[in-house]
Amino acid sequence: MSAPKEQSETPNRRARTAPKPAASVNMEELRELIALLRDNGLAELELENEGFRVRLRRDSVAGPSYVGEVSLHAPAPAPVPAAPAPAPPPAAGPTHPGTHASTEASQDQDLHIIPSPIVGTFYRSPSPSADAFVKIGSNVEPETVVCIIEAMKLMNEIQAEASGEVVKIYVENGQPVEYGQPLFGIRS
Amino acid sequence: MAFNPRKFKKILIANRGEIACRIIWTCKEMGIKTVAVHSDVDRDSLHVRFADEAACIGPAPSAQSYLNIPAIISTAEIFNVDAIHPGYGFLAESPYFAEICEACNIKFIGPPANIIRLMGDKIEARRAMHEAGLPIVPGSPGGITSEEDGRKVAREIGYPVIVKASAGGGGRGMRIVRSEQELGKALETASTEAAAAFNDGSVYIERYIEQPRHIEIQVLADEYGECIHLGERECSIQRRHQKLMEEAPSTVLTPEMRKRMGDAAVAACKKLGYSSAGTCEFLLDVHGNFYFMEMNTRIQVEHPVTEMVTLADIVRNQIRIAEGEPLGYAQDDLLIVGHAIECRINAENPETFAPSPGTISAFNLPGGPGVRVDTFVYSGYQVTPFYDSLIAKVIVHARTRELAIARMKRALEAMVIEGIKTTVPLHLKIMDDPRFRAGDIGTDFMEYFLARNGRKAAAP
């Protein structure tokens, strides 16, 4: 089977610039190259100089961390690809429990996000008539119970596992939540 | 007899990858809403995109996600599903999961839990199917209790024998033994491997059939005692007991043999009270004798070749049967038309079979007459190392086997997957192999093929 011809429309376009007279590339030029890559929607760029070659490659797929820990930077829902990044076949995308919360939490980079450790229904108080465990402004310690997530008729108490002040609550009482979904934003 | 059908409005698919997509396609055709579950690394997977609703149920490791029963049931409850389709692998053959679904009033799309449990114990399955009338390979009546016991049994059966794990499957926990000197060590290593893989080190012994063909019969049974078979699949091309390609019908089965094997499988299933889809695996020896090996109580990876030659939709039938509909077909309704071949495309190096995860940079699916591709990947998709390496199945259907081989060749040539290594080149070479083209295939085929092509097959 012969190799397919290089496609000119795919994101993996390579741009080669003409060799420059200078023998090395300085930081300023490197920054320009990076900007060139990004602003023109390139995935890869190679520059050859006398005695010098630089290749920049941008990972077009943003994904969650694979190191086995819960990702605190919740990935965007039904991913909207950046300009050249190849998009999967267009589809409306499913309804995820975490859609709105994830988008909001991804902007709160300075807060510690408490994610849901399980799938279930989120409740702010131990029972319908009781007060909420925490509210905006509450101070929490690692063992403070911040909410209940009900799964298969079991009420699981979720602990903060962080210290600080509750500044954001990303989900509503009675809302279904998925694994990893942001629940609270804590400012330490 | 009172039929008690209830239509499903929503099904949760407790699986991932190509089979999850496959189930979603039929659900869409039936107007049934779908719920996908996924691990965090599978967020961009195709089955998630095309489901109506989805939920992340855990991190990448299967034990915490696709095998995480509380997470799956919790999701099913939140989305108020009527039924769960378990696909294959993962929880598809977990009697425990089937029971929990029932306890939570969610229909498990598959046979009853007690049958899953019975067939999951290979020793008991052999015994039960033998009692139900199926021929079995001469072997130990139960598990081997000691080396002395093993020696005695092996002497009765006659060498060569094969040691097999009772809780096993997928070719693990198996050792071929050609003489008594090798028996002790084989019993030990098979048992250790079985204990590690299946948490159960018990083993049994069977006569080893030389150069057998692996022929399996697809059955469909409703919940009212009706059962038919959908013909056979030839699955002899295997490496380390993992199937690489399958075809239907088999090149060696005469209509008379098909009827004998099919009727035997159906009779046994009826006796056991089987329901839903299932597959009885047989070994066929050179004299045309067939022996029951094991039964898989789920839909199988290679189900498409049966669908192509019979025009059946096995997933659709599983759903209908689970909804309480009567089967509606008689055995005489079965038509087997033409020839179908399936190649399993894995994200592996085609020479070393080493896994090859990575990002797919270019992707093209073959099309045209008689071509079907079941896949879940696309250009830009990141193949992760956490799961099975199967990324696509290429299936062709044509009037004759010769035409099907030509069709598979041109389909594979148009199957472009760049950025990772795949086994497409391997399958192309197999299409050109003279033994394959002549239909002269047995479970020794891959060993012969790899040796012929200058590579070593791994020890079985």
Pair (B148, B260) in one structural domain: no
The pair of structure tokens assigned to B178 is 């050609």
pLDDT in tens, B284-315: 988 889 999 999 999 999 999 999 999 999 99
Is the CB of B99 inside 8 Å of chain A's CB atoms?
Answer: no
Cβ neighbours of B52 in A, within 8 Å: 94-95
ipTM: 0.79
Q: Which domain holds residue B28?
A: 10-109
Please give the Cα distance from A64 to A179 (Å, whole number).
13
Cβ neighbours of B65 in A, within 8 Å: 179
The pair of structure tokens assigned to B5 is 């059908």
Pair (B293, B149) in one structural domain: no
For B352, phi then psi, to 5°, come to: -100, -15
Pair (B197, B221) in one structural domain: no
B443 pLDDT exceeds 60? yes
Q: Report the pLDDT averaged over residues B232-250.
A: 94
Who wins on pLDDT, A76 or A38?
A38
Band (pLDDT 50/70/90 cuts) for residue B170 is: low
Pair (B15, B72) in one structural domain: yes
Band (pLDDT 50/70/90 cuts) for residue A31 is: confident
Please give the radius of gyration of chain A, using alpha carbons only, rounded to the nearest integer: 23
Question: Can you say how many angstroms the Cα of residue A171 is from the centroid of all Cα atoms in its chain?
Answer: 18
Band (pLDDT 50/70/90 cuts) for residue B355 is: very high
User: Is A1 part of a structural domain of the chain?
Assistant: no
Q: Quote the pLDDT of residue A39.
A: 75
End-to-end CA distance of chain A: 59
Pair (A107, A159) in one structural domain: yes
Q: DSSP H helical segments within B66-176, as ranges?
A: 69-78, 95-103, 113-120, 122-131, 147-157
Q: Which domain holds residue A34?
A: 14-57
Task: Check which CATH number belongs to the domain holding B423 and give it.
Answer: 3.30.470.20
Q: Report the pLDDT averaged over residues B255-267.
A: 96
User: Is A3 part of a structural domain of the chain?
Assistant: no
For residue B186, CA distances in Å to B138, B152, B387, B456 come to 19, 15, 29, 22
Range with the poorest average pLDDT among A43-52, A166-175, B146-155, B278-287:
A43-52
Q: Could you say which residues from 10 to 69 on chain A have a Cβ atom under 8 Å away from some Cβ of chain B?
A: 10-12, 59-61, 63-64, 66, 68-69
Pairwise CB contact (< 8 Å): A181 & B41: no
Q: Quote the pLDDT of residue B275.
A: 97
Q: Quote the pLDDT of residue A152.
A: 87
User: Is A26 part of a structural domain of the chain?
Assistant: yes
Query: Domain boundary residue among B65, B88, B109?
Result: B109
The pair of structure tokens assigned to B433 is 């192999």
B43, B64, B101: best to mutate for the A interface, most A CBs within 10 A: B43
Q: Quote the pLDDT of residue A1.
A: 40
Residues in chain A: 188
Cβ neighbours of A68 in B, within 8 Å: 59-61
User: How many domains is chain B partitioned into structurally?
Assistant: 3
Candidates A88, A97, A152; nearest CB to B55? A97
Pair (B310, B437) in one structural domain: yes
Pair (B259, B320) in one structural domain: yes
B70 pLDDT exceeds 70? yes
pLDDT in tens, A127-176: 999 999 999 999 999 999 999 999 988 999 999 999 999 999 999 999 99
Q: Quote the pLDDT of residue A12.
A: 43
Pair (B328, B294) in one structural domain: yes
User: How many domains is chain A partitioned into structurally?
Assistant: 2
Band (pLDDT 50/70/90 cuts) for residue A105 is: confident
Collapsing DSSP to helix, strand or coil, B97 comes out as helix
